[in-house]
């Protein structure tokens, strides 16, 4: 066990965990966050996605010690129900989800994409969403949300 300092959604958290513990578990079990979510545990679905230094990362695959000293943003850190982030607002307006389990990956990947490419090409969108899975089949609504967010 080690004391590891994390900066999550602008707040400092000191977690006492094994340094090899996946960031996912430190965020959920030690920092008390509801997002990200456990999906596959193999980094293949994206339900556990967080932004680390503004890049989308599968938190189930990242040892917590490697996240120390970095800026971590979860879905909770983007906006609030009263004041959603423009990407969150676009996903709401486009009704882009049915169950919402995979929401972390799609929303955070969209934010990272638009931060880098404010008006992305179809190829850039496809690349940003590589490896994300929506089992509900909301892909058309997700694409509409990305277009809305790019216009915001």
> Which of residues 20, 55, 77 is at a domain's end?
77
Q: CATH number of the domain at 8, please.
A: 3.10.20.30
Q: CATH number of the domain at 119, please.
A: 1.10.150.120
pLDDT confidence of residue 100: 86
pLDDT confidence of residue 136: 87
> Which of residues 77, 99, 117 is at a domain's end?
77
pTM of the prediction? 0.94
Note whether 18 and 57 are same-domain residues.
yes
pLDDT confidence of residue 150: 95
pLDDT confidence of residue 86: 97
pLDDT confidence of residue 137: 87
Note whether 71 and 137 are same-domain residues.
no
Number of domains in the chain: 2
**Which range marks the domain in which residue 43 is found?**
2-77
> Which of residues 26, 43, 77 is at a domain's end?
77
Note whether 113 and 136 are same-domain residues.
yes
As averages over each run of 10 residues, the pLDDT of the chain (152 residues) reads 95 96 96 92 94 97 97 95 96 91 94 97 93 89 94 84
pLDDT confidence of residue 90: 97
Give one DSSP letter per residue of the chain, joined into a string: -EEEEEEETTEEEEEEE-TTSBHHHIIIIIS----S--S-SSSSS-TTEEEETTEEEETTTSBHHHHTTSEEE-GGGT--SSS--HHHHHHHHTT--SS-TTHHHHHHHHHHHHHH-SS--HHHHHHHTTT---TT--HHHHHHHHHHHHH-
Note whether 65 and 112 are same-domain residues.
no
Question: Is the Cα torsion angle 104, 73, 6, 44 positive or negative in sign?
Answer: positive
Note whether 49 and 22 are same-domain residues.
yes
pLDDT confidence of residue 98: 85
The first and second tokens of residue 150, run together, are 């790019």
Beta strand pairing status for 55-58 and 49-52? Answer: antiparallel
Peptide bond into 24 cis (omega under 30): no
C-alpha closest to that of 48 among 34, 65, 60: 60
């Amino acid at each position: 066990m080690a004391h590891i300092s994390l900066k999550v959604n602008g707040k400092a958290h000191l977690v006492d965990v094994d340094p090899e513990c996946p960031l996912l578990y430190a965020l959920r079990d030690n920092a008390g966050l509801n997002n990200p979510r456990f999906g596959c545990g193999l980094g293949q679905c994206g339900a556990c996605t967080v932004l680390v230094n503004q890049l989308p990362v599968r938190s189930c695959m990242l040892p917590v010690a490697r996240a120390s000293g970095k800026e971590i943003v979860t879905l909770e850190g983007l906006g609030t129900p009263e004041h959603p982030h423009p990407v969150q607002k676009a996903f709401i307006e486009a009704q882009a989800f049915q169950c919402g389990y995979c929401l972390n990956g799609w929303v955070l990947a969209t934010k990272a994409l638009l931060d880098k490419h404010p008006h992305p090409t179809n190829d850039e969108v496809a690349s940003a969403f590589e490896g994300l899975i929506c089992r509900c089949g909301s892909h058309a609504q997700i694409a509409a949300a990305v277009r809305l967010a790019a216009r915001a």
